[in-house]
Structure 1
Amino acid sequence: MSDHHTKSQHPFNEETLESKPIFQGKIISLQVDTVRLPNGETSTREIVRHPGAVAVVAIVDNKMLVVEQFRKPLEKLQVEIPAGKLDAGEEPEAAARRELEEETGYRARSIEHLQSFSTSPGFADEIVHVYFTDDLEQGDVHLDEDEFLTCEAITLEQAQAYIKEGRICDAKTLLAVYAWRLRTLTGSF
């Protein structure tokens, strides 16, 4: 980002006048900030703070590893790439390796960063770091005590069908499928 787009210099910057904590949970916190708008008026912003997350596009024998689990906010089962939140002070690559093995039983011998993105910048500061690997070895599954999921390896055609059926509908997995398709078609991301 160039210097003229930094938040302190940009004319659309909103100055925080007050920040009021509302909720502190196990994973997220919620605050309401009072801000001065560019026109001098004030408004409020509800902000969810999140430690960040990782996700892994893992390819084994031309199939992508996915997990299926119940997602309470959506009230349905979802097929997603392996993912999880960052622990305090944890580097994203280490978290990606950890989550991959915990959820799928595969260890990445090598792994590369694909992209980092904001999930919902209108109200949350969560950043998801997406990694890619096709250099895997079998390890052991170690699910968290409150984690219930199944793991499978799907073809690109299956992934595209899951998108049409709505079984895949989250941003990180959509990004993964489209990146995988691009790599399959062109040989690179």
Structure 2
Amino acid sequence: MENNDYSHLKEEIISNNRIFDGKVIKVDHSRVKLPDGGTADREIVYHKGAVALIAVHQEEMYFVRQYRVAPDDFLLEIPAGKIEVGEAPRETAIKELREEIGGVAEELEEIQEFYVSPGFSNEYVYLYEARDMTIDVQELDDDEFLDIVTVQLQDLKKLLQAGAFRDSKTIIAVQHVIAAYNL
């Protein structure tokens, strides 16, 4: 049986300096005490979390294509959005599905939760699958510009292997759909 006491690996923050306090993220420069007694510097990005949505309707999976400034690229992604203060992940999922693709789901099932890049960020994503969905009109935020893209389910594996999806939430979602739908 595995020992679940990992305290010998824990780092302790001994000093902290907030170097950025923005609308979406906060960034700290921290000094930590290492398990062996030494010290190291850590840069930590704090994020309120996000939701992402698997949206399959009539043998097609829904994606959005949008420009992302950080990688300077147009990415094909699943619908997603950040969780607002005081908002539950499920509420955000319902809102983002409607905003980004005009989707309304009879049921939302949580599929997975994961950290995006735990080496420097606490950003946590809740992945939902929208079930029994109808499609209406997009209700984009004023600062959102994206195209809806639908992909036939039988084409997902080929597109995944070709590198069409390059962000972690979308790759996880596509792999889930390929397995769940036996594609």
Q: TM-score range by the shorter chain?
A: over 0.9
Change (3 A) 1:164 1:74: farther
Q: Give the deviation of 1:157 after TM superposition.
A: 3.8
Matches of 2:159 and 2:182 in 1, distance apart?
20
Structure 1 SS opposite 2:84:
coil
Q: 1:133 aligns with which of 119, 130, 146?
A: 130
Q: Give the deviation of 1:85 after TM superposition.
A: 0.3
Structure 1 SS opposite 2:140:
coil
Per-residue CA deviations over 1:42-75 (Å, capped at 9, x if unaligned) read 1111000000000000110111110000111111
RMSD of Structure 2 on Structure 1 (CA) = 1.6
% of aligned pairs identical? 36
**2:160 and 2:174 in contact (8 A); partners too:** no
Alignment of 1:1-189 (within 5 A): 4-5=5-6, 10-185=7-182
Normalization by structure 2: what TM-score?
0.93
Matches of 1:36 and 1:48 in 2, distance apart?
19
Bigger strand share: 2
| Residue identity in the other structure for 2:70 | P
Normalization by structure 1: what TM-score?
0.90
Corresponding pairs, count: 181
Per-residue CA deviations over 1:138-172 (Å, capped at 9, x if unaligned) read 33311111110011221134333433443311111
Matches of 1:65 and 1:132 in 2, distance apart?
11
Matches of 2:57 and 2:154 in 1, distance apart?
15
Q: Give the deviation of 1:185 after TM superposition.
A: 1.2
Matches of 1:97 and 1:60 in 2, distance apart?
16
Change (3 A) 1:23 1:42: same
| Residue identity in the other structure for 1:72 | V
Matches of 2:164 and 2:74 in 1, distance apart?
7
**1:77 and 1:167 in contact (8 A); partners too:** no
Change (3 A) 1:109 1:66: same
Matches of 1:159 and 1:145 in 2, distance apart?
31
Structure 2 SS opposite 1:102:
helix
Consecutive unaligned residues in structure 1, runs of 5 or more? none
Per-residue CA deviations over 1:93-128 (Å, capped at 9, x if unaligned) read 111111010000011111100000000000000000
Matches of 1:160 and 1:76 in 2, distance apart?
22
